[in-house]
Structure 1
Amino acid sequence: MYRLYRLLGTAALAIGCCPTATAQEPPEPQPPSIACAEPVALGAAAADRAAWDKATRRSRALRATHAHATGYGVKVAVVDTGVAAHPRLHMSPHADMVSPDHPRADIDCDSHGTVVAGIIGMRADPDQDELVGIAPDAEILSVRQTSAHYRSPQHETAGNLANLAEAIHAALDAEAAVINVSVVSCVSPADAATLNTRDLVAAVQRAEENGVVIVAAAGNTSENCSPGDVVYPAHLPTVISVSAVDRPARGLADYALPASDSTGLRLSADGDVPVALSSTGSGLATGVYADNQQLRQYLGTSFAAPVVSGTVALMLQQQPHTSPAEIRQRLAAAADPARGSFDIHHALTHLETTTLPDETQRSITVTTAEADPTRGRVAMMAGLALAVIAVRAIIRGWRAGPST
């Protein structure tokens, strides 16, 4: 997950006002306050080979699933730090809250949103490898909502709950069917009780009313995020909250906060990324990146949430008119009730067998007399009985002789 730095914005933009970068002549990007993160390119080291093998196994496990759906025709908005333009993504830059005057939602200085997008929609390179995302044919909409690298005391234009609401509205205006939010804000229960979240709640409600599914990271434990904290937007009603599990034990990861149960649904997925899309070029990166002179891992609930978002995209390709509530019901039916982990193929193909059809769709089978074998047998038996009675009457009359 990626932390939102401020809770409240000083101003709210009108819905749909957010500028979109033009494809022909994108504006020059604004220089970041802090040097951009640098993903470590995938090489030939033994550790890289192990990561490659792990990523390949995951991709191969998706083959059966992709025979049913690949996310084609489904738009998934990634509300994050931007998504870098990459040849292995079908990506459209849409809105930029970090640099609204010079919008570049196709730049990811934090090397976070690109990785999230790759988990959802990375396409295979037939000439090099078979690595794919959960929904490789989905269209990714980039909404750059926050960045740690464009921050300074003089530059605080993004990363608060107010423009998180704007980001969700922007995704809805772009007709996204799924919105992935791997940025979070953690507050104590006492602070949450006094926090004005009206705009964010309204944005989430608009998504639900428009049939759009919102998936959010549950949050990672840190000095800014503790167990028991209220995590936005994951704790809001109707938002699918996703925690992270460790392999092979499949228990919740030590770093992960449990998923909120505000919807009655607790989900979890793999939170590690063995091989990622590079945010600085056209290639692939290991699960490690350099940021502010420190090596960090692509590890967290940030990268578990897009596993669920990609799965929802597959579901919506199969059944485009499925409501968010029905999506949540299907995921709940496929998930482990203890940890919330689930198998993607099972979630896609599982249907609730106990669900009764709507009253207007129920039908009663009417069997005509001609086609009812039971009635035919009854009629035949009755006829035989009458014939036997008649024969017996004739015999009795014959034996008695003529009457005198």
Structure 2
Amino acid sequence: MTFKDQFRFVRQNMKKNKSRLFMTVLATAIGCAFLIVLASVGFGLHKSIISDMMENQMVTQVEVFGKEDEKANMKSLTDEDVAFLENIEQVKAVTRRNELQQWPNYEVDGYEASTQAIVTHFPSEMKADFELSSGRLPEKENEVVVGYHFAKELMKGVPDGVDAYEEDGTIKKEYAYNGNLLNSTVNMTVIKNQNGKEITETIPLKVVGIAKQPGREWMRESHVFISESILKDVEAFTGVKGGASEMYDGGEIKADAEKTYDYIRVYANNVQAVTDITTQLEDKNYMVYSVASEMKQINAIFLIMKIGLIFIGTIALIIASIGIYNTMTMAVTERAPDIGIMKAIGANPKTIKNIFLLESSYIGLLGATFGTIVAYGISYLVNLALPYILKAAFEDAAPEGLMLSYIPWSLTLISIAICLLVTIFSGLRPAKRATKVDVLKAMRREV
């Protein structure tokens, strides 16, 4: 008996009791849909978090904060370290920055703001894909680039005791700066404390570029990116290393001191190279951090979560398998005469067993197909309704890119495979029973 004949025989017999078949397939479809939708929550949250990390942080970036010597003392990073890092295979760029050790006050057209100044090496920054929304890179010592939100920090004319900010944290229109910063002069005022007195120095800076807006709306970039010469001017004024307003331990400026950096960022050519670069740096006693290592931990947590959800969803399919078992048991009883005839004409017991296993598999395949279609529909509706639900519940917009339910092809295939295994296992015992039917009893419809 060929497979085609077996399949035709199964379909003919299944049509004899359509209502029972429908309920069995329905139960299997519900179980399969429950498994997929439940597990899709883990896949959706995982995808949302990883996507968010990849957009908000450079996944190819490795931050280097310092290096331990043989006595486990932390050493500052120098040009020698930069040269070593640039020669590592798969390294795209090595940026280095220093932070001005005070927050200067900035003034333009009477508007003022206080924010951090960062000494930036622009050639390496451009290799690392530092982008501008407008303007150009600095070419002269007094030229600077400002962060995208720097202008939004400027304000003036705020009366004493008046709150200048809106509920969302932005400055009220009557106090906010609305001019064009590009090519304007910004006066940076730094201070030093001398004999209990505060002395100020103003350095004029020309804004020639504005950094690109960060990837997320809630991220703020209001730094002022200054040159090494501006840092030296501030250090000359304060007499303290890093331009701090007061002397601190190790803050003495030495003419022959080696140039150091507060932190260095290494950018790999691709995500796959980050792990290898991080390992090499750790072996050389560098203190490093990369998003890739954090992603590895997150992936492990979500893997456990997804396995747990799939396991819970499988329980629903196991419950549905009880219905399949009952259906197949009744099918064996009802078809006893047919089984007797097949055995009488010399049908192999294996063939009879395969017919009933084929029937249970067919029921499982139908249930898995309909269940998958329903699961995709539910997933779509959930993601569509989620922003409205969160807005109604919390009176705030949902995070950009949030996806509660996501069904990859891998989940679909896993769910279908589990569904088929459960249904085949459910039909295994009734199929074995069919092979043991006595021919004479079957012909008398006794089994």
Q: Structure 2 length as normaliser, TM-score?
A: 0.24
Whichever structure has more helix as a proportion of its residues is 2
Q: Structure 1 length as normaliser, TM-score?
A: 0.26
User: Which of 1 and 2 has greater Rg?
Assistant: 2
Greater relative contact order structure (CA < 8 Å, 6+ sep): 2
